[in-house]
Structure 1
């Protein structure tokens, strides 16, 4: 028989661990499931400087502190890649490649991932000059030259943000015009610190043993190869929600994100979603933690409502 819990949290990043903390502290039995080590993307972050309470902390260290807090009231943790969620009356069945579970409520905290360019140097210098989040890492490049790759809303918004910190921002785009909203384009074009390179096919991210030194690209019109000197490279070529396996539940929007209300509830009772997997604008550790706290309380209220309904039936 599948092992039973009050709450199953799918994903053990900052949001999932916070939800597990709040739910278990409310005396609910909680299981956190993750296909990797707890901590999520924090494990790939060298330094975190924008989390309250710490001037600076290593990502894995913050992940460990959150895990210790999440499990102090009895929440369990297990490896498992979730392949399906099914609704069976008041129960939510969760299938994984390591076994099956059942719970009264499920919190989805699987996050999202940035699309990669797949070019030489991208993985090698990840966290050492290559970033996918200007709000997270922009402060490390104050008064330095940086490159932004992309031409959509995110690339132009983040490029404008970086212009407040960097000495120069070069936006590299593979086309001859941007896809971003006109108001974002106007702001970027009007900023004297922002440069544009058009029709550029990015070929490699260059660097020495420790850091990024530049970006190599080919001009698609002339075929010539050029190098842009830079200390940082910010890549914005798309972001994808990690919602594979949840399609049949009926909680995804047309782009694969999970819409919720302010209590983190989806349109299917007993299924909640938090953090980067939600349809939202700001994806940060702090926002994931806020979502997790709300969801932890919401599942308690939801399970309480089930118990109240049972009492009425049996009265």
Structure 2
């Protein structure tokens, strides 16, 4: 009797495996690439995301002569562009994140990559070819994909505590490289105990007078030589077993933190000038909820060879890596995704043309759309600089005026009778570079408004006078008086809306 049961079980398993194999084969037969016309809106592969994983996929597809398009999204080059120092990329002993990202992007373009700066509005993976709704140059359109590689990365977390969002850009920052130089000889706090926190602490210790590293556990998660350096740096103090409960400011800038010792249950205040967040990230997978399988944290579930739960859709990089967020891993994932996408295309009957892929690369600088940041506009601050002898507005502009000193600022802004948009940027700041093409475009379009820009790294006195504590910061003036300001990036539509509302344009 037992033998009969075992035989029955074996027969059932054989039947089940046969059904699964049939189902898999049948699925590929349903997806017949030979009947799909590849045109300007249909691609063998669409890569969503322009970080290291996506760019590496693009390099491999280009060298394999597979037509594809890479949609850069809001952060060309990925999150690493905010890092001032990368020390673990093979062949580069020490290089900035943006320089390394530019090298990878240049490699992709020289290989034949088609890169466009577009954002994805939605995806439809219930039909094939897969449908991807994108926004490019403020125009919505739909493109089709036989296969898709998702490389959307992850976004740095907030603490979600009182005062944090209110003072973002005014003492609260996610980017030590961008905003660190504003805290020369000041006191700052870094929140986090991982590799990013350690790197930021070392960087800021060379600028700030005092650096507090606030860790909620009794040990650092980071390891290696940099950890030992942090522990031995005279102006870095590590505060263990501590949570931040509240960011406290004076309605203009951060002045202190309310902290809680979770070991002895005591509450105290810590006087600081700025707080930098280095507390991990969440995957950028909102687009893919209920479209492909995600884990409990929202990361894309991948199986062998970067495959997702949908045929022909692959994921790579931080969007599917909850533990080790490393460039080298993202690049490896990207290469593997590209090769398996190519294998998938072959299985569904797609034949690679013998001609070289046309490189349709557009002018990247004119298409950059920055990431919108959660920053709160603050009330205009009163300045002591006089606004005498206002110049009458009697001309149109159309370009952005570079202001290089305090006297020129007074002439172009404070003593000008009319409307002015002032861009306070820094030449090292990647989000600032992302905003430049948008500012230039709006200056041409809104040519009755004067647009000026000033590099606060070179004109520090203006940063001090106008209380600039984060870049980019935009201040709107009318008749020499500040009427509004905001920090962080905006897309073109949102930026234009703010200008029209605040300046009654």
TM-score in terms of structure 1 length: 0.73
What is the aligned partner in structure 2 of residue 178 from structure 1?
none
1:66 aligns to 2:66 (yes or no): no
For 1:11 and 1:70, the matched residues in 2 are separated by 14
What is the aligned partner in structure 1 of residue 460 from structure 2?
none
Q: Identify which of 188, 198, 203 aligns with 1:138.
A: 198
1:148 aligns to 2:214 (yes or no): yes
Partner-residue secondary structure (3-state), 1:167? helix
> Is the contact made by 2:192 and 2:215 (CA closer than 8 Å) also made in structure 1?
no
For 1:133 and 1:69, the matched residues in 2 are separated by 34
Q: For residue 276 of structure 1, report the CA deviation from its aligned partner.
A: 0.6
What is the aligned partner in structure 1 of residue 34 from structure 2?
none
What is the aligned partner in structure 1 of residue 278 from structure 2?
235
For 1:200 and 1:160, the matched residues in 2 are separated by 26
Q: Identify which of 226, 229, 234 aligns with 2:270.
A: 226
> Is the contact made by 1:148 and 1:233 (CA closer than 8 Å) also made in structure 2?
no
> Is the contact made by 1:168 and 1:194 (CA closer than 8 Å) also made in structure 2?
no
TM-score in terms of structure 2 length: 0.47
Greater CA deviation, 282-291 or 117-126? 117-126
Q: Which structure: greater strand fraction?
A: 1
What is the aligned partner in structure 1 of residue 305 from structure 2?
263
Greater CA deviation, 195-204 or 241-250? 195-204
Bigger radius of gyration: 2
Cα gap change, 1:215 to 1:285, in 2 (>3 Å): farther
Q: CA RMSD in A?
A: 3.7
> Is the contact made by 1:218 and 1:225 (CA closer than 8 Å) also made in structure 2?
yes
What aligned pairs does 1:1-315 form with structure 2 within 5 A after superposition?
3-87=41-125, 90-97=128-135, 98-117=140-159, 118=164, 119=167, 120-123=170-173, 126-127=176-177, 128=180, 134-136=194-196, 138=198, 146-151=212-217, 156-158=220-222, 163-167=227-231, 195-198=239-242, 200-203=244-247, 216-219=256-259, 224-227=268-271, 235-236=278-279, 239-307=281-349
Unaligned runs of 5+ in 2: 1-38, 181-187, 206-210, 352-505
For 2:350 and 2:40, the matched residues in 1 are separated by 25
Cα deviations by residue, 1:16-39 (Å, 9 ceiling, x for unpaired) = 000111112111101000223521
For 1:215 and 1:26, the matched residues in 2 are separated by 55
Cα deviations by residue, 1:158-196 (Å, 9 ceiling, x for unpaired) = 389975332269xxxxxxxxxxxxxxxxxxxxxxx9653
